[in-house]
């Protein structure tokens, strides 16, 4: 018997093709190109974390630091190159891939040239995701070809119709992470109705999403959105992008100043989302005066778009903090390398296009250990749960549970683990102990939720007209049980998001490996050029404005869009004292460090001076507000005495730090005579005076960030 939850979700196919014209490069002689949007407005209602920390302790000190007032993921090396969705409504796929790529770059899981396939994402969003054991083979999203909900197998339509940023997040948690681009022509493939991808590539990724967090993208939720970007490297978001004709400069709400694009629509609050992008940074002091329609205050998000780039369009937009629309979401990801022989047990495979907030206290997801060959064992290591914000629950594994007449009559409980999840979405938890199961055994994942905790379930969404998006979510009898009373079990509606992760294929008769005896680490002997080992950054902390990771040599090759093509790196120029065993990883005062965008000298326990650019021929430099050296945070409080001395090509200087106390007397002597300085709004006058005393050209221009 199959249980189905009928939650109506509809969208006429043309909604995925809403278009907005973008100005082509003036010197290219091209006509205006029409770019579609492609976001299907979400009907998913999520809560937001309450009292999430916006400060964190600084290791090695007794103090703490706030989230930075500005952050630019491009200077950190967390942003891949700007892509072009062409004339298709695939912005949701580009935004999601961008967020995945940012997290993988932040964690060092990928090279800067990583380019996940949007074709892969689109294809498997609207086709069956047949997992190897067939547990979710009947679950899928589809575009209706008729009034009976018959799936339309036409890739051109799939590429055009659009998608949901939050539902795409659920697809990623199902294990359907896109592979790298394989050389297919994106435009030609999207125009080919018969385009297909081998089913074997659906679950072929070597990576897995351990966390997928969702929060509402609105002004009142700025800190929670910042935390996502800060922690995970970027976030996919959707928003209402105005539907007017004409280029950027002719738009009612887009503005172009010095080649920088801004957007604020005061009427968006009554509109539904239409376009998907990635947040790669923010600036609390971004001037409200830079918007065509002036918002109530300063502050903006730095957005990576998917409309390509040219001389007049660098691919980025500043969107005001005050820009809002109905039910907009921000989605961030935590990606890890998949373990060898890792198996995902799940039943909810339709990406929650139809979703259901479950009201129960107790949940059981019943599975059979059938991933290993007969005579082999599996080890259950983790459990994944989908829930609303501020969830609190206890998970455990029940071995060989027996249910009779709605009663759980026997079982063996293992790995009782208390869990909390701050954001709405999906979280994977390590069990308190690994649980071994034999081939053919049954086991259940039990979730006992606190009274205010909501567990998410997937359900059917049946379209009523052709060209509408729907989904099928099959639930077989005996897969799930739920109750508000101990052991009084019923079959719930829909598929609660409760999953298990195991490692398959272990031989129960194999001799276990002996536990190695830990030996104290000897004090290393100093060498002429010691390698500095980076400290591991905990998951619960945020990322500073520039993350400096020690390596052998710096690398800095900018792309056309101005993004570094490699992670910022740092090596010590002046070796410190002999390495010793010390819990603190703070750099020695007086030591110098090279990064991909500058050279710093440590001046205090938590301060550094910017002493020189990495490239003396650079045309543009950014002086950040803070850096991370050896895993520790340092404020930029000085600019060295000859930091940019005789850098005659330097035409643009952007100072992000609002803590500059000293600028050297010849710091800017000999730079380009008409250089432009972009300064923090609150420090504009003070910094302008300091710069003039530091040798800035008489014809230099000064502007507010």
Give the residue among 324, 374, 670 at the shortest CA–CA distance from 505.
374
Q: How far is CA 270 from CA 38, 303, 323, in A?
A: 19, 22, 11
Count Cα atoms within 13 angstroms, Cβ side, for 576. Answer: 18
pLDDT tens-digit profile of 224-281? 999 999 999 999 999 988 755 444 555 788 888 877 899 999 988 778 888 999 999 9
pLDDT tens-digit profile of 172-191? 998 888 999 888 899 999 98
553 or 472, higher pLDDT = 472
Residues of the chain with CATH 2.60.120: 339-506
Residues of the chain with CATH 3.80.10: 547-575+588-704
CB-CB contact of 23 with 248 (8 Å): yes
How would residue 118 be classed by pLDDT, with cut points 50, 70 and 90?
A: very high
pLDDT for residue 206 is more than 90? yes
How would residue 43 be classed by pLDDT, with cut points 50, 70 and 90?
A: low
**Res 651: pLDDT:** 93
pLDDT for residue 584 is more than 50? no
- Token digits for 37? 């949007």
Q: How far is CA 66 from CA 51, 70, 530, 542, 544, in A?
A: 15, 11, 32, 10, 10
The length of the chain in residues reads 705
How would residue 290 be classed by pLDDT, with cut points 50, 70 and 90?
A: very high
Looking at residues 626-655, what average pLDDT do you find? Answer: 86
CB-CB contact of 445 with 401 (8 Å): no
pLDDT tens-digit profile of 334-384? 999 999 999 899 888 676 555 667 778 899 999 988 765 677 889 999 999
How would residue 462 be classed by pLDDT, with cut points 50, 70 and 90?
A: low
Q: Can you tell me the distance from the alpha carbon of 33 to that of 21, in angstroms, rounded to the nearest whole number?
A: 6
**Res 22: pLDDT:** 35
Evaluate whether the domain defined by 547-575+588-704 bears CATH number 3.80.10.
Answer: yes
- Token digits for 643? 């930091």
Among the listed ranges 112-126, 542-556, 641-655, which one has the minimum average pLDDT value? 542-556
Residues of the chain with CATH 3.90.70.10: 26-43+64-333
- Token digits for 671? 């730079």
Range among 9-18, 298-307, 522-531 with highest mean pLDDT value: 298-307
Three-class DSSP category at 683: helix
**Res 40: pLDDT:** 64
pLDDT tens-digit profile of 228-237? 999 999 999 9
Give the residue among 463, 413, 583 at the shortest CA–CA distance from 60.
583
* Alpha-carbon torsion angle 460, 461, 462, 465, nearest 10: -160
User: If you search the block for the tokens 């950054």, which residue do you land on?
Assistant: 537
Q: Can you tell me the distance from the alpha carbon of 535 to that of 553, in angstroms, rounded to the nearest whole number?
A: 18
Three-class DSSP category at 207: strand
DSSP 410-450: EEEEEEEEEEEESSEEEEEEEEEEEEEEETT-EEEEEEEE-
- Token digits for 67? 């989230």
User: If you search the block for the tokens 């850098």, which residue do you land on?
Assistant: 647
Q: Can you tell me the distance from the alpha carbon of 181 to that of 171, in angstroms, rounded to the nearest whole number?
A: 18
Fold of 26-43+64-333: Cathepsin B; Chain A (3.90.70)
Looking at residues 398-420, what average pLDDT do you find? Answer: 90
CB-CB contact of 36 with 87 (8 Å): yes
215 or 8, higher pLDDT = 215
Q: Can you tell me the distance from the alpha carbon of 135 to that of 149, in angstroms, rounded to the nearest whole number?
A: 22
Count Cα atoms within 13 angstroms, Cβ side, for 485. Answer: 5
- The CATH number assigned to the domain with range 339-506 reads 2.60.120
Burial class from Cβ neighbours inside 10 Å (0-12, 13-18, 19+) for residue 582 reads: exposed
pLDDT tens-digit profile of 664-695? 999 999 999 999 999 988 899 999 999 999 99
CB-CB contact of 352 with 44 (8 Å): yes
How would residue 327 be classed by pLDDT, with cut points 50, 70 and 90?
A: confident
Helix 91-106 crosses helix 222-232 at what angle (to 10 degrees)? 60
- Mean pLDDT of the chain, nearest integer: 77
């Amino acid at each position: 018997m199959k249980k189905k939850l009928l939650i109506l979700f509809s969208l006429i196919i043309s909604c995925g093709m809403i278009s907005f014209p973008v100005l082509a490069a003036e010197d290219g002689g091209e006509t205006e190109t029409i770019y579609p949007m492609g976001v299907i407005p979400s009907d998913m209602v999520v809560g937001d974390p309450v009292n999430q920390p916006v400060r964190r302790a600084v290791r090695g000190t007794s103090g703490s630091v706030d989230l930075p007032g500005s952050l630019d993921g491009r200077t950190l090396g967390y942003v891949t190159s700007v892509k072009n969705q062409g004339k298709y409504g695939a912005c949701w796929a580009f935004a999601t891939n961008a967020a995945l790529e940012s997290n993988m770059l932040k964690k060092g899981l990928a090279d800067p040239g990583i380019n996940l396939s949007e074709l892969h994402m689109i294809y498997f969003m609207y086709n069956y995701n047949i997992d190897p054991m067939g547990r979710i083979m009947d679950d899928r999203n589809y575009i209706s070809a008729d009034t009976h909900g018959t799936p339309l197998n036409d890739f051109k339509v799939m590429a055009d119709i659009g998608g949901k940023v939050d539902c795409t997040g659920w697809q990623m948690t199902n294990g359907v992470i896109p592979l790298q681009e394989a050389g297919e022509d994106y435009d030609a493939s999207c125009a080919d109705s018969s385009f297909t991808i081998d089913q074997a590539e659906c679950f072929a990724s070597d990576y897995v999403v351990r966390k997928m967090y969702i929060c509402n993208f609105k002004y009142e939720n700025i800190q929670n959105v910042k935390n996502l970007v800060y922690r995970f490297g970027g976030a996919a978001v959707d928003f209402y992008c105005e539907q007017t004709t004409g280029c950027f400069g002719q738009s009612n709400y887009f503005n172009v100043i010095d080649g920088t694009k801004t957007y604020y629509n005061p009427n968006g609050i009554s509109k539904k989302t239409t376009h998907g992008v990635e947040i790669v940074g923010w600036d609390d002091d971004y001037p409200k005066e830079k918007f065509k329609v002036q918002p109530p205050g300063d502050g903006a998000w730095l957005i990576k778009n998917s409309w390509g780039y040219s001389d007049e369009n660098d691919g980025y937009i500043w969107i005001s903090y005050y820009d809002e629309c109905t039910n907009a979401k921000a989605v961030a990801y935590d990606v890890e390398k998949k373990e060898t022989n890792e198996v995902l047990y799940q039943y909810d495979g339709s990406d929650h296009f139809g979703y259901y907030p479950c009201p129960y206290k107790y949940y059981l997801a019943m599975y059979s250990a059938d991933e290993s060959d007969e005579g082999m064992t599996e080890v259950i290591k983790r459990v994944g749960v989908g829930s609303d914000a501020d969830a609190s629950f206890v998970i455990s594994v029940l071995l060989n549970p027996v249910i009779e007449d709605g009663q759980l009559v026997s079982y063996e409980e293992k790995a009782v683990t208390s869990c909390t999840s701050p954001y709405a979405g999906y979280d994977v938890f390590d069990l308190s102990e690994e649980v071994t199961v034999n081939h053919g055994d049954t086991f259940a994942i039990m979730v006992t939720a606190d009274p205010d905790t909501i567990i998410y379930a997937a359900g059917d969404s049946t379209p009523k007209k052709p060209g509408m998006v729907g989904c099928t979510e099959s639930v077989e009898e005996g897969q799930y049980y739920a109750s508000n009373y101990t052991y009084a079990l019923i079959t719930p509606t829909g598929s609660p998001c409760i999953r298990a992760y195991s490692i398959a294929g272990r031989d129960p008769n194999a001799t276990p490996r002996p536990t190695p005896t830990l030996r104290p680490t000897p004090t290393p002997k100093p060498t002429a050029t010691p390698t500095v080992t980076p400290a591991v950054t905990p998951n619960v902390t945020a990322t500073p404005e520039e993350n400096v990771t020690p390596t052998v040599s710096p690398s800095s090759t900018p792309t056309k869009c101005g993004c570094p093509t490699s992670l910022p790196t740092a090596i010590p120029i002046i070796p410190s004292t002999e390495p010793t065993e010390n819990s603190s990883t703070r750099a020695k005062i007086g030591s110098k460090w090279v990064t991909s965008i500058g050279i710093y000298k440590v001046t205090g326990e938590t301060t550094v001076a910017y002493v020189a650019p990495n490239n003396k021929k650079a045309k543009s430099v950014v002086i950040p507000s803070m850096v991370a050296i050896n895993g520790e945070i340092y404020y930029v409080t000085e600019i060295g005495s000859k930091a940019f001395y005789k850098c005659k090509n330097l035409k643009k200087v952007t100072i992000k730090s609002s803590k500059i106390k000293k600028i050297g007397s010849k710091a800017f002597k000999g730079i380009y005579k008409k250089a432009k300085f972009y300064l923090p709004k609150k420090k504009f006058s003070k910094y302008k005076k300091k710069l003039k005393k530091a040798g800035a050209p008489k014809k230099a221009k000064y502007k507010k960030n």
